[in-house]
Amino acid sequence: MDGGFGRFGSGQAVRRIEDAPLLRGEGSFSDDLSHPGQTHMIFLRSPYAHARIVSIDTGAAKAMPGVLAVLTGADLEAAGLGRLGIELPFKRPDGSPLAAPPRPVLAVGEANFAGEAVVAVVGETLEAARDGAEAVVVDYEELPAVTSAAAAAAPGAPQVWPAATGNVVAQTQYGDRAVADAAFAAAAHVVTLDIVNQRLAPVSMEPRVMVASYDAATDRIAVTMSTQTPSSTRDQICTEVLNLPAEKMRVLVGDVGGGFGMKTGAYPEDAVVAYASRQLGRPVKWAATRMEDFLSATHGRDTDSQVAMALDTNGKVTGLRVRTLANMGAYTRPAGVAIQLLIGPWVSTSIYDIRTIDFEFTAILSHTAPTSPYRGAGRPEAIHIIERLMDTAARKMGIDQAELRRRNMIDPALMPYTNAMGQTYDSGKFAQVLDQGLKLADWGGFAAREAASKAAGKLRGRGIASFLEWTGANVFEERVTVAVKGSGEIEIYATTQQMGQGIATSYAQLAVDVFGVPLEKIRIVLGDTDRGTGFGSAGSRSLFTAGSAVKVASDKTVATAKDLAAEALEAAAIDLEYVAGAFRVAGTDRQIGLFDLAAKQPEQRIYIDSTSSVGGPTWPNGTHVCEVEIDPDTGEIEIASYASVNDAGRVVNPLIVEGQLAGGAAQGLGQAMYEAVVYDPESGQPLSASFMDYALPRADMIGGYVTELDQSIPCVTNPLGVKGVGELGTIGATPALVNAVADALARNGRAKAADTLQMPLTPPRVWALLQG
């Protein structure tokens, strides 16, 4: 059917079609946009983690040349603006409903974290807005603050919101505590750990940007912004804050310079920009500075966990216990709560056949920036816990780390397998992937490498992570439109969003599979809520939901076109064959090209509007093996090698998948070695609000990186057989590296230090552990 164009179809390492315009400097990022009469917004932010706002004097600012508006939280609420809320079915420990403060878009009465927006200033120019913000005088009364989940949960801690007594938002419990207690009492071996998944800042290349323009003739606001979820962002701004029907706003998204989960949903600043544009009748632009994103964009992770694993004499896990406090920050976002109280727990038993669990997860408020999705979103925290426990147990029992995992892996014969959290895995051959990972990493040759490191005065360790993850955000329906145009192109619109992951290329390849036309004839359009609405791109869902929808819609288009071709050729549809973009009457030379057929239609196009669903989430998995060398004199870690084998189901574009895995691994290694958002526990001041104080992973940090894909285990819940892969590398990298460092410590007489290891593994921290 492809007429020789299969080299551009699925399964091929096609270069990304998104890249050429970016390399030519022709990218369309929100900050590139400039409207006639455009104004600029600046936010004045709280310098305190917790303070009562005694008064705000805006008189001098309003009188300044070029200042068009000065807005306070009180002004906006007096104008009828609402607050960003949260509705989830979780309960507090006493059975009362979830307690989460609705968030004003500008602080009202109190500021609850350092960096919270208090005043917005609009100026004719960026400089005028800045000058106006500097002229605003805010009188604060500083109040006690609390920054960590443990401190916030302690008796007598400062309260963030009165209704959330004890600073508890909600709590979930899973499993049977009595059964688990019995399993632990009868266990031959029990391992316990305290594990901190530190707070991270999602550092996208492009900070948050929004430009809003109001059209009085249509009474609509057109917004261009950097977001992963255009539709839900529009809905939140309109319905929760502006009290407008959603159709009063159009959200457009061009190129997005990275999202990582941080650019999902509406931020308070987005609503203020939209409101100001509507009030002034002029375009308003806000572009966050890097420091603003460090201070006020959502952070990730930030959990404290006490965990334990029970095992029998053969190393079979008989019970798993997890107690986690999750720091939500000063305001909760729905996804942030769900990630820690539900989604992370879903994968806590991972690829292991563990039937007995006792889980307790508590969401806690603190005077810090809110936490929400960050690449992996709950799954990295859960997998880090189970993989640390596996390595610790193997060490204490004297069993090879890989062997202990193998003894506990789910047998493929049990698929589909429902885990202790009620989640059903459709496919997976975990021991097969483990074996490939061990071979790729030359697991058996470690002793010789360790000896060579020792001769060079270095300590060597190896770590492993065998794991799975859940993808899809449990939103499985997607709408796709296809327009075959008489002008010679096929335009496909999907409601997911590109953000650097190459999704447009994958969609185009899937279209080539069906239409059999050159890749350049396919035009992928994304990011326009007037053309279609949907969940957007998050949770590694884009390819298996929208990609499947692209295939379904393309098949429908060819089927519709076949009927039209039958009429044009005066033949029965059953007698037509479709090859290389043309319909031919079988056994004859009578044919009509797809684009010629489209040109004959009344609108000179063949158009299909298709909505389809996949059958469930996907469960990609992998085995990642990391080896490290440690300089005992400095504590500096060198990643000597990193090998991973990943089951991503059927692969549409190996080049893109391998790039996603490498990028994900870099972020996971960044958490393990470098990254941490730090607040001063006394004042609540952020101590890591710039690149001077927040370290990121570097391209040269890995001595050797190899990865392979196992495509022999397709997903059975979507027609493509694909599995989400955007977060897989992140989830495996962190425990693989931490386990490697723990292994190096244990091999060199520091077994206790190996059990107390906490991220980030900075040289001073590792050196101190080596000193005992």
Q: What residues pair up with 479 in beta bridges, in sequence order?
A: 611
Q: Is residue 188 part of a domain?
A: no
Tell me if 252 sits within 8 A of 528, measured CB to CB. yes
**What does the alpha-carbon distance between residue 131 and residue 152 come to, in Å, rounded to a whole number?**
37
Domain assignment present for 227 = yes
Q: What pLDDT is recorded for position 426?
A: 97
CA 464 to chain centre: 23
Structure tokens at 621: 């998995």
What confidence tens digit (pLDDT) does each residue in 464-494 have? 999 999 999 999 999 999 999 999 999 999 9
Name the pLDDT band for 4 (thresholds 50, 70, 90).
low
Per-residue model confidence as pLDDT tens digits over 713-753: 999 999 999 999 999 999 999 999 999 999 999 999 999 99
With tokens 């936010």, the residue in question is: 43
The pTM assigned to this predicted structure is 0.96
Provide the token pair at 614: 């996949």
Asked if residue 656 lies in contact with residue 16, where contact means CB atoms within 8 angstroms, the answer is yes
The residue segments making up the domain with residue 110 are 33-143+208-287
Q: What is the DSSP string of 32-44?
A: G---TT-EEEEEE
Residue 305 domain-assigned? yes
Domain end position, chosen among 584, 613, 642: 613
Residues 554, 514: contact at Cβ < 8 Å? yes
User: How does residue 701 score in pLDDT terms, banded at 50, 70 and 90?
Assistant: confident
Q: Which of 287, 311, 343 represents a domain boundary (last residue)?
A: 287
What is the pLDDT confidence band of residue 3, given thresholds at 50, 70 and 90? low
| 754 sits in which H/E element | helix 751-756
Reply yes or no on whether the pLDDT at 6 is more than 80. Answer: no
Distance separating alpha carbons of residues 718 and 543, to the nearest angstrom: 10
* Secondary structure class of 385 (helix, strand, coil): helix
Asked if 85 and 218 sit in the same domain, the reply is: yes
- Over residues 425-431, the mean pLDDT reads 98
pLDDT tens-digit map of 111-159: 999 999 999 999 999 999 999 999 999 999 999 999 999 999 999 999 9
CB atoms within 10 A of CB 57: 11
Q: Are residues 72 and 14 in the same domain?
A: no
Is 752:649 a contact under the CB 8 Å cutoff? no
Say if residue 2's pLDDT is above 60.
no
Q: Are 265 and 85 in contact (CB under 8 A)?
A: no
Q: Which two tokens stand for residue 530?
A: 């007037």
Rounded distance between C-alpha atoms, residue 700 and residue 703, angstroms: 7
Give the model's confidence band at 772: pLDDT under 50 very low, under 70 low, under 90 confident, else very high. confident
- Please tell me the predicted confidence (pLDDT) of residue 660: 96
Contact indicator for 612, 494 with CB cutoff of 8 Å: no
- pLDDT band (50, 70, 90) for residue 414: very high
Angle at 142 between CA 137 and CA 144, to 5 degrees: 160
Residues in the chain: 772
Distance from C-alpha of 733 to C-alpha of 271, rounded to nearest angstrom: 37
What contacts 684, CB < 8 A, 6 or more positions away? 48, 49, 50, 113, 114, 145, 146, 147, 367, 368
Estimate to the nearest angstrom the gap between the alpha carbon of 704 and the chain centroid: 26
Which of residues 593, 613, 633 is at a domain's end? 613
| Separation CA 146–CA 134 (nearest Å) | 28
The CATH number assigned to the domain holding 277 equals 3.90.1170.50
Neighbours of 37 (CB within 10 A): 10
Place of tokens 């507090």: 92
**Exposed/middle/buried for residue 20 (C-beta within 10 Å: 0-12, 13-18, 19+):** exposed
Q: What is the full DSSP assignment across 189-209?
A: EEEEEEEEEEEE----SS--E
In a domain, 176, yes or no: no
Span 242-271, mean pLDDT? 96
Q: Which CATH number covers residue 536?
A: 3.30.365.10
Q: How far is CA 596 from CA 561, 581, 748, in A?
A: 11, 10, 73
The 10s digit of each residue's pLDDT in 506-563 is: 999 999 999 999 999 999 999 999 999 999 999 999 999 999 999 999 999 999 999 9
Q: Which token pair is 173?
A: 């419990």
Stretch 492-502: mean pLDDT:
94
Cβ atoms < 10 Å from Cβ of 456: 10
CA separation for the pair 390, 392 (Å, rounded): 5
Contact status, residue 739 vs residue 677, Cβ threshold 8 Å: no
- pLDDT of the residue at 405: 98
Average pLDDT over residues 281-288: 98
- Give yes or no: residues 501 and 380 share one domain: no
- Measured in degrees and rounded to the nearest 5, phi and psi for residue 191 equal -120, 140
For residue 63, the SS3 value is coil
Positive/negative CA dihedral, 76, 77, 79, 81: positive
* Angle (nearest 5°) at CA 145 between 141 and 146: 175
**In a shared domain, residues 678 and 747:** yes
Average pLDDT in the chain = 96
Q: Which distant-in-sequence residues (6+ apart) come within 8 Å of 672 by Cβ?
A: 733, 734, 737, 738, 759, 760, 761
Token duo for residue 562: 């076949």
Burial class (CB in 10 A: 0-12, 13-18, 19+), 704: exposed
- Average pLDDT in the 403-418 region? 98
pLDDT classification of 700: cutoffs 50, 70, 90: confident
Please tell me whether residues 451 and 575 are part of one structural domain: no
514 and 411 together in one domain: no
Under 8 Å between Cβ of 251 and 230: yes
Q: Are residues 78 and 213 in the same domain?
A: yes
How far is residue 541 from each of residues 39, 475, 594, 722, measured CA to CA in Å? Answer: 37, 8, 31, 10
State how far the Cα of 447 lies from the Cα of 174, in Å rounded to an integer. 42
State residue 699's pLDDT score: 86
**Close Cβ partners of 419 (under 8 Å, ≥ 6 residues apart):** 346, 349, 354, 425
CB contact at 8 A, 268 and 210: no
- Compute CA distances 630 → 46, 454, 655, 673, 771, whole Å: 42, 10, 32, 12, 13
Q: CA 127 to CA 601: how far, in whole Å?
A: 54
The values of phi and psi at residue 655, to 5°, are -60, -45
pLDDT at res. 1:
52
Beta bridge partners of 424: 418
Confidence of residue 622 (pLDDT cuts 50, 70, 90): very high
Encoded tokens for 178? 């009595």
Claim to verify: residue 452 and residue 577 sit in the same structural domain:
no
User: Based on the domain organization, do 360 and 267 belong to the same domain?
Assistant: no
**Residues 341, 467 within the same domain:** yes
| 570 and 640 housed in the same domain | no
Residue 50 is which amino acid? H
Report the 10 Å Cβ neighbour count for 587. 8
159 domain-assigned: no
Written as one letter, the residue type at 391 is: D
Residue closest to 382 by CA, chosen among 174, 553, 642, 79? 174
Tell me which residue of 86, 117, 156 sits closest to 363, measured CA to CA: 86
Q: How far apart are CA 24 and CA 102, in angstroms?
A: 44
Of 22-36, 203-217, 553-567, the one with minimum mean pLDDT is: 22-36
729-740 confidence digits (pLDDT tens):
999 999 999 999
Residues 645 and 599 in one domain: no
For residues 274 and 285, give the distance between their C-alpha atoms in angstroms, rounded to a whole number.
Answer: 9
pLDDT tens by residue, 304-316:
999 999 999 999 9
pLDDT band at 703 (very low <50, low <70, confident <90, very high): confident
* Number of structural domains found in the chain: 3
Statement: residue 567 has pLDDT above 90? yes
In this predicted structure, the answer to whether residue 296 has a pLDDT above a threshold of 80 is yes
Residue 184 lies in a domain: no
Residue 446 lies in a domain: yes
What are the φ/ψ torsions at residue 689 (nearest 5 degrees)? -105, 20
Closest CA to 584 of 604, 562, 560, 601: 562
Q: Has residue 124 been placed in a domain?
A: yes
